[in-house]
């Protein structure tokens, strides 16, 4: 494919990792740093010393701390910021975004005040019905992507041409991209799995065993499907990379912030300490949104409700699991 200009902002761990596949493909990449000194250092050594210092890049990669310069001339704009900063960050860069630019958001989560997914937030801020928007999700730890270890992900867009172009731009021999048109389903999978991962982590911290972990993952995907489909997502999407794939990774790896948070709670840590730690643990906030939606829609999501009660209502983790096992008997199909 033709050589593209790709802007990735900001230069956090995930943003830096995403430089690897597109630069390996020969595209020109501009990486945005908030601090000029960090951008200058990157241009000198061609490494992000504060985030992924051991990772080296191929191709033409440059850094800048000037937002206008970073975005100017870009064919593709990749937003890799924290979920809770997407709206304000996009408002900040909106004046520099050209009408035909492709915008790919890799942030996973639901906005706290509005209950909107990131594509909905961008659409609301951009006010452009023809915007070339896409989202990325899947079982993707940034460090492994950066190290060029075999990884698969999914990019979803309502525009097939946008999804296909991004697929070709990012796909390498180590980073395989699938496309989807169920944007909402892909986003909800990436957000809701964090809540289940906290529940699994709590169980692990309590030494509930491997049977329990498998059950929580399996029934967790059922809850994700139940909540996602009532919001308009395709249930088959949750069987894919952004649903089951991301759920398995997040629930079984010590690298997962949400799993680790749950584990700490299971071992006795006060959830309030995690909420005030300043660390980004998406599931702690997403669970409030998920439970709120479930109540409005009158659907039962017992695992997520247990996590909510433990985190926000002071329910003791052991009692939470005891109550979960006492949940009303039913068919696995929900009948």
68 in catalytic set: no
| Active-site residue, from 108, 193, 226, 309 | 193
- Tokens matching residue 10: 């900001």
The DSSP line for 72-103 is: TT-SEEEE-S-GGGHHHHHHHHGGG--TT-EE
- Phi first, then psi: give them for residue 275, nearest 5 degrees: -65, -30
CA 161 to chain CA mean position, Å: 23
Task: Burial-class residue 199 by CB neighbours within 10 Å (0-12, 13-18, 19+).
Answer: buried
- Tokens matching residue 197: 């991962």
- Tokens matching residue 258: 């949400």
Residue 5's H or E segment, with its range, is strand 5-9
Cα 131 to Cα 15, 97, 120, 170, 326, distances in angstroms: 22, 11, 12, 20, 48
* Separation of alpha carbons 130 and 139, rounded Å: 29
The DSSP line for 248-280 is: HHHHH-TT-HHHHHHHHHHTT--HHHHHTS---
Residues 6+ apart with CB under 8 A from 324: 302, 303, 306
Catalytic residue ranges: 193
């Amino acid at each position: 494919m033709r050589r593209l200009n790709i802007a990735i902002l900001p230069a956090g761990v995930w943003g830096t990792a995403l430089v690897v596949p597109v630069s390996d493909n020969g595209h020109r990449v501009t990486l945005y740093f908030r601090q000029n000194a960090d951008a200058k250092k990157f241009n000198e050594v061609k490494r992000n010393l504060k985030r992924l210092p051991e990772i080296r890049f191929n191709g033409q990669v440059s850094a800048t701390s000037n937002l206008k310069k970073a975005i100017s001339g870009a064919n593709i704009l990749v937003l890799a910021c924290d979920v809770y900063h997407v709206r304000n960050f996009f408002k900040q860069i909106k004046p520099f975004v050209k009408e035909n630019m492709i915008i790919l958001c890799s942030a996973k989560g639901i906005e706290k005040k509005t209950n909107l997914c990131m594509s909905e937030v961008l659409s609301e801020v951009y006010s452009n019905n023809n915007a070339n928007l896409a989202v990325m999700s899947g079982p993707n730890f940034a460090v492994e992507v950066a190290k060029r270890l075999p990884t698969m992900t999914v990019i979803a867009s309502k525009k097939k041409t946008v999804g296909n172009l991004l697929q070709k731009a990012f796909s390498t021999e180590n980073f395989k991209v699938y496309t989807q048109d169920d944007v909402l389903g892909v986003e909800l999978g990436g957000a809701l799995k964090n809540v289940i991962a906290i529940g699994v982590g709590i169980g692990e911290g309590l030494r509930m065993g491997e049977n329990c972990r498998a059950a929580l993952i399996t029934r967790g995907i059922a809850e994700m499907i139940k909540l996602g489909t009532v919001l308009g997502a395709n249930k088959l999407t949750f069987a894919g990379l952004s649903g089951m794939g991301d759920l398995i990774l997040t629930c079984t790896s010590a690298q997962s912030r949400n799993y680790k948070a749950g584990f700490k709670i299971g071992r006795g840590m006060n959830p309030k300490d995690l909420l005030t730690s300043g660390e980004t643990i998406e599931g702690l906030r997403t669970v409030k949104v998920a439970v709120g939606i479930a109540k409005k829609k009158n659907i039962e999501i017992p695992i997520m409700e247990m996590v909510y009660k433990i985190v926000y209502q002071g329910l003791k983790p052991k009692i939470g699991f005891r109550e979960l096992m006492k949940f009303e008997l039913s068919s696995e199909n929900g009948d």
